[in-house]
Amino acid sequence: MLRPLQVVLVIDRSVLTSDVFALSLSMIPHDPSLVAAAANDDDDDDDDNTLSIVSASHRPTTTETGLRHRHQRPSHKDQELHTSDDTEDDTAILAHATPILIPTTTPTATRLHHHHHHHHHNNNNNPSSSLSNHNERHIHKILLRIIFGACLFAVFSGSVYMGHLYISALVAIIELLLFRELVRVRYNQHYDLIQNQQIPLFRTTQWCWFLVSIVYTYGDFVTHVSQSNQQLHAYMSSMQYLPTVSFLLYSFTFVLTITTLQKQHLKFQMNQLCWTVLVIAVTVGQLKYIFHNIYNGLIWFVLPCCLVFCNDIMAYVSGMLWGRKFISRPFVALSPNKTWEGFLGGFVGTMICAWYLSRYLVQYPWMICPTNQWTLAIHNVDSLGKCGIDESSMDPIFKQAQSVVNPQMFELLPRHLVKMIPRVVEMCSSPIILEPTDGSSSSSPMLLTTTSTDHPHNPDGHLWISPCISGSEIQQHHHFELKVKDIVPLQIHALWLGLFASLVAPFGGFLASAMKRAYGIKNFDSLIPGHGGVMDRMDCQFLMALCTWVHYNTFVKLATISVPKLTYLYSLLNDAEKDEFLQSIGVTTSTTTTP
């Protein structure tokens, strides 16, 4: 009869003891699937791993005498065994561990062996029950995601409907929660070190740096809005001190951080400072211009957010339905559950959503109306007149128009393929005027050019461009023409935003996955049931907000210029500079000299 064997994983000088199994030496092959099963992906909440691994942030180590209670915090020594700033995750630990088989006949080993054998025997007898429980958990997880996802969207929609100031308040709260969740990662990871060694002002310095970044970043936004509102020009004399306040806060926080450094924990504190700077760059840095997007018109905030929402939903559904059915290769190593089918499905769904959602939102004046007012009035813009513009002065990108695709784009493709594109018209050149088939000169598509020719029927040397007529011997191919009618130019801009939302923004989520794997955590928080924390839902929105501001200022409008702002800047000039400015724009001034 085989004696029970105790499997011990030796890692450096530490010993990680697992369950006790009744196995012989010849019955223990190296099975990589068991190691792979230990990797618990951050996107699957209810996957049952075949091999139970001790998590650095959720479960402490197992000893021969018993188990520590799961609600207690792991000690710093245990955390160094499982994870640190430079160590790998549980999968890598198992991959590099050396299995050593030690015979044992202890009562504890015998009990554990019988418990494991009994549990394995029960699972074999009820495979349908286990499958049913898994399906029930999976359905419960999906329902939980849908319910609380709908609640989140309701809060988002309600804030947008209430107005700019309310949605700005919601963004500020979200940004605060984001910073809180990210800085708590290292605080929970090194709790024993911080408390036992009494590292001074560990969290205080982090929040001081956050305050400095908020004042410096959004002080510029407050100044910009105040300069663009002539009624707020009276407060500009006080707002000019915002840079000074930012610098004083920075100096105070800098000195405070240096004075809290301790020689015996210097490396840990420097790592902590780098982590704080990274968190500020991810949250505050990338969201620097999100308030500009809101006040340039709510559509520049709502549309990008909805595109990210759509991409997440379509990628999730596509991956669930068709994942690894066409492409078995993993999409990203950081998230093994991400599939190519999900990525491509999210791309297609996002582009369709961008085209139709942008056209739907543009019909509401309170979505396209920019503002520079600070008001608590709820939904105070229901017509263009209330936001200071009329139909004639409305931005052309919000009006229906006819767009002509650049003909040079079609020259890159074979002609027979271009002719298959709907609404593409082949235009030909001819030396004589061809009458329109409908006999109407007003709707004639012919264009006149001044290319010289010696044709006997064209002594003036003109060349006429008109749609090609099949079988005509005097026409020659000139170009292809595609006119897209009754579209809103904003739809073209939305396609570019949708392209970014589906191809680039998801990598913000992969960065969040890397953070969670580095510190061995499932989610950043449990604030939102079925979704995790705020960071788990907002990880793709940061880059999207920054991309929207860059796109708006590059291809739509220079948002930093306005008449009230120019008026304020003009008031800061002296008399000589005012005369010079007026002369530079072609306005003559009369100066009176005093004898």
For the chain, the domains span 5-125, 404-435+444-487, 562-595
Give the other-Cβ count within 10 Å of 391's Cβ: 8
% of the chain at pLDDT higher than 90: 32
Task: Read off the DSSP letter of residue 374.
Answer: -
Handedness of CA 479, 480, 486, 491 (dihedral sign): negative
C-alpha span between 450 and 444 (Å, rounded): 18
Which tops the pLDDT comparison, 151 or 135?
Answer: 151
Mean pLDDT (whole number) for 286-296: 92
Mean pLDDT (whole number) for 186-201: 83
Full DSSP string of 184-238: HHHHHHTHHHHHHTT-TTHHHHHHHHHHHHHHHHHHHHHHHHHHH-GGGGGGHHH
486 falls in which pLDDT band (50, 70, 90)?
Answer: confident
Please name the residue that has the structure tokens 């840079």.
Answer: 243
Burial class (CB in 10 A: 0-12, 13-18, 19+), 19: middle
Instruction: Give the mean pLDDT of the chain.
Output: 75
Mean pLDDT (whole number) for 462-491: 84
Displacement of CA 68 from its chain's centroid (Å): 39
Please state which of the ranges 126-130, 201-205, 546-550, 560-564 shows the lowest mean pLDDT: 126-130
Q: What is the pLDDT of residue 434?
A: 61
405 falls in which pLDDT band (50, 70, 90)?
Answer: confident
Which tops the pLDDT comparison, 107 or 500?
Answer: 500
Q: What is the pLDDT of residue 498?
A: 96
Burial class (CB in 10 A: 0-12, 13-18, 19+), 155: exposed
pLDDT digits (tens, 9 = 90+) for 228-283: 888 888 888 888 899 999 999 999 999 999 999 998 899 999 999 999 999 999 99
Q: Which residues contact 130 (CB under 8 A, 6 or more apart)?
A: 123
Residue 562 has pLDDT above 70, yes or no: yes
Q: What is the pLDDT of residue 347?
A: 96
Report the predicted TM-score, pTM, of the whole model to 2 decimal places: 0.69
C-alpha span between 7 and 19 (Å, rounded): 7
Mean pLDDT (whole number) for 461-489: 82
Q: What is the pLDDT of residue 237?
A: 84
66 falls in which pLDDT band (50, 70, 90)?
Answer: very low
Mean pLDDT (whole number) for 449-455: 50
